[in-house]
Structure 1
Amino acid sequence: MTINARVAEPVVQVVSELSPMQFTYKPRYYWLIVRGLLNSGKLDVENSRRIISSSYTISPEVHQRYGELFNVPPALLDSVPFNYVTRSAATWIVRTLGDLGVNFSSLRHVKTAQKFIKPSVPITPWKSQHYWVGMDDIVPMGKNRVVVIFKGAIQDDLGETCTTYEDYFMVGGIKAASMKMLRTHAHLGKSRVSDLASLTRKLPMENYQEAIDFAIPARMGRDYAKLSGDLNIVHIHNAVARLSGHPKAFIQGFCTANYIVKHLSLSVGPITTIETLFARPVYVNEPVRLLCNEKYFSLVSSNSKVLSFGSWS
């Protein structure tokens, strides 16, 4: 495993896989969220340096439920490399961000990238998989924002890497002293994040060859939360989303990425690499259109606003 070799070797913690059905999962997850909402924005870099390592399996029932949730026929399910967000990974990323000291009220998932080392097929049900994930870098951006980068990988039962992935979170409200520390840090802040400087896009950006129309169900944020363990309540409750300045609930970033992966896989062809940037919320109970060609894609709203975009091969 490789996590920012420029920094002292982080602590490796082996954790047990958690299920959303476990009694302790929700209290633990929401306690971490509340703690994050109380953070001041003063960063504690050393306290958040860890790599999480775990093993898990996907049951045939969960495998099937992903297909049902994203409306994939059973005969085609093995053609779609869904991002099966494991419960312990979701919880420990939330914990790491909380330990870092960022305030979750200004936290935003802005990018995810995956590379499929093995053929583009999903996890085999009941077959043991190993994964690790850790915070790789913290990059200052502007006056009081940072980009926190996580990297990880999924390995099969033989220890061979199947998938590598990177996730980028943008956070505002960082204290001036912490921004100064990052700008003068000997090792952190070295990753390139220039593509995240502006996530606003207008169409057309590329010559798209195909348009795929579909709708986001009204309960998609809630149903995906139950399946994946990504329980952020702005994706579940309209009232909470409105308190956060949104007209209604919107789906999770990984849920958006799974929609894109599904349609590209089934309509265009197998995926080797994919990089997805999240420009705007994808609201529930709304129609969307995926525009794509052999290299680029954009997910747009009914009024042609770009919600997500990226590249793939």
Structure 2
Amino acid sequence: MSDVKTRTLDGPPGAASLYPRAVAGSYALPFLRKVPVVGPGKVKGLPDLAFALQDVALDAGHVADYARVCGFTLRDALPPTYLHILAFPLQMRLMTDGAFPFGVLGLVHVENRIDVLRPVTTGEKVSFRVHAEDLRDHPRGKQFDMVSIATVGDERVWEGRSTYLRRGGGTDPNHPGDAAKKDDKKSAPPVAESIWKIPGDIGRRYGAVSGDRNPIHLHNLSAKAFGMPRAIAHGMWLKARALAQLEAELPPTLSVEVRFKLPVLLPATVGFSSQAAEGGRAFAVHDAKKGLPHLDGHFAARAG
């Protein structure tokens, strides 16, 4: 990380500028890779670049809006997923930078890990730094991680790692991951301990509070324009909603990771299940009618 150049911004990048850049970049990059100088199928490495924001004041009203849309109880300590939405504009700024090798709208968020190193409260000011790392081959394309680090003063208090897949050009399009999805479809889902009826406007509601206004989440027409049959729920809303369901059991410091599986087409009725596992709790969300998997995850208290 010593060679990474950090750009400190004066304020969070706005969605009004980020998503037009994302759309333009997603369409321009495939064209540019056909140019002989660039070469077909050639992918640059991840940029040696990070974006940072200093001393972000936490807005109690915004935290309350987030808690409400995700199902958390409003407490002194932030929900474990909340700082992700403050780091997300920096992720978008990096992924829409001209040096970034992939178009944003071609990326699939496949995994997410969050580590709460200590509880953070709304009276504190939080600084963020975001960078990309570990570009690696995947049988269906390329994977990389977007790493977000939150600090209060000199103390690291929270970390997030989002793993993205860029499909295309992989070595094995029929790799076991696809077979696993087929097996998931055949296997019986876990017994639901609760049923959620997810409204059709949850993408717009979560997008308004999180700033993640990707068109695939907002309206059926915009989702269809980007290849979805209809609007889908945000993966990070689904993760937050699952943790809100387990809120009474969450330790103050924890590690929680999830894998995103089949998208939740809105509106939807899904089943939630959980069980004790590996010093914490495993949980899953599946389609209530067909049993198809949407998410599985696990949380555990951090040692020390």
Q: TM-score range by the shorter chain?
A: 0.7 to 0.9
Q: Counterpart in 2 of 1:153?
A: 149
Amino acid in structure 2 at the alignment position of 1:152: S
Larger relative contact order (Cα-Cα within 8 Å, sequence gap ≥ 6): 1
> Out of 13, 27, 35, which is 2:7 matched to?
13
Residues in 2 aligned to 1:207 and 1:304: alpha-carbon distance in whole angstroms: 5
Amino acid in structure 1 at the alignment position of 2:25: R
More strand by share: 2
Q: Counterpart in 1 of 2:36?
A: none
Unaligned 5+ segments in structure 1 are 180-193
Change (3 A) 1:205 1:263: farther
- Residues 4-83 of structure 1 mapped to structure 2, 5 A cutoff: 9-18=3-12, 20=14, 25-40=15-30, 42-45=42-45, 48-55=47-54, 56-74=56-74, 76=75, 78=77, 80-83=79-82
Moved more, 218-227 or 208-217: 208-217
Measured against aligned partners, the alpha-carbon deviations of 1:165-214 in whole angstroms (never above 9, x if no partner) come to 2111000235x9xx9xxxxxxxxxxxxxx996766262898996872321
Unaligned 5+ segments in structure 2 are 34-41
Change (3 A) 1:102 1:292: same
CA contact (8 A) 2:132 2:145 kept: yes
Query: Helix, strand or coil: the match of 1:255?
Result: helix
Change (3 A) 1:228 1:220: same
Runs of 4+ residues over 3 Å off in structure 1: 71-74, 76-80, 103-106, 194-199, 203-210
How many positions carry a matched residue from both structures?
277
Change (3 A) 1:71 1:117: closer
Amino acid in structure 2 at the alignment position of 1:132: R
Q: Counterpart in 2 of 1:172?
A: 167
Change (3 A) 1:207 1:197: closer
- Residues 100-115 of structure 1 mapped to structure 2, 5 A cutoff: 100-115=100-115
Measured against aligned partners, the alpha-carbon deviations of 1:140-187 in whole angstroms (never above 9, x if no partner) come to 112x6000112221112x32111122111000235x9xx9xxxxxxxx
> Out of 237, 252, 257, which is 2:234 matched to?
252
Q: Is 1:305 the equivalent of 2:292?
A: yes
Following superposition, the deviation at residue 135 of structure 1 comes to 0.7
Change (3 A) 1:161 1:45: same
Following superposition, the deviation at residue 70 of structure 1 comes to 2.0
Change (3 A) 1:99 1:253: farther
TM-score by length of 2: 0.80
Residues in 1 aligned to 2:89 and 2:246: alpha-carbon distance in whole angstroms: 28
Amino acid in structure 2 at the alignment position of 1:149: D
Measured against aligned partners, the alpha-carbon deviations of 1:204-250 in whole angstroms (never above 9, x if no partner) come to 98996872321222211111111111111111121121233322101
Change (3 A) 1:245 1:203: closer
Following superposition, the deviation at residue 59 of structure 1 comes to 0.6
CA contact (8 A) 1:251 1:282 kept: yes
Residues in 1 aligned to 2:113 and 2:71: alpha-carbon distance in whole angstroms: 23
Following superposition, the deviation at residue 264 of structure 1 comes to 2.1
Q: Counterpart in 2 of 1:232?
A: 214
Residues in 1 aligned to 2:99 and 2:79: alpha-carbon distance in whole angstroms: 35
Change (3 A) 1:292 1:49: same
Change (3 A) 1:259 1:274: same
Residues in 2 aligned to 1:301 and 1:206: alpha-carbon distance in whole angstroms: 11
Measured against aligned partners, the alpha-carbon deviations of 1:3-57 in whole angstroms (never above 9, x if no partner) come to 4xxxx7211111233265xxxx4034322332123212632226x2212221222
Following superposition, the deviation at residue 127 of structure 1 comes to 1.9
Query: Helix, strand or coil: the match of 2:72?
Result: coil
Measured against aligned partners, the alpha-carbon deviations of 1:276-307 in whole angstroms (never above 9, x if no partner) come to 11111122221111111123211101221010
Q: Counterpart in 2 of 1:186?
A: none
Q: Counterpart in 1 of 2:38?
A: none
Q: Counterpart in 1 of 2:122?
A: 125
Residues in 2 aligned to 1:140 and 1:285: alpha-carbon distance in whole angstroms: 35
Moved more, 98-107 or 292-301: 98-107
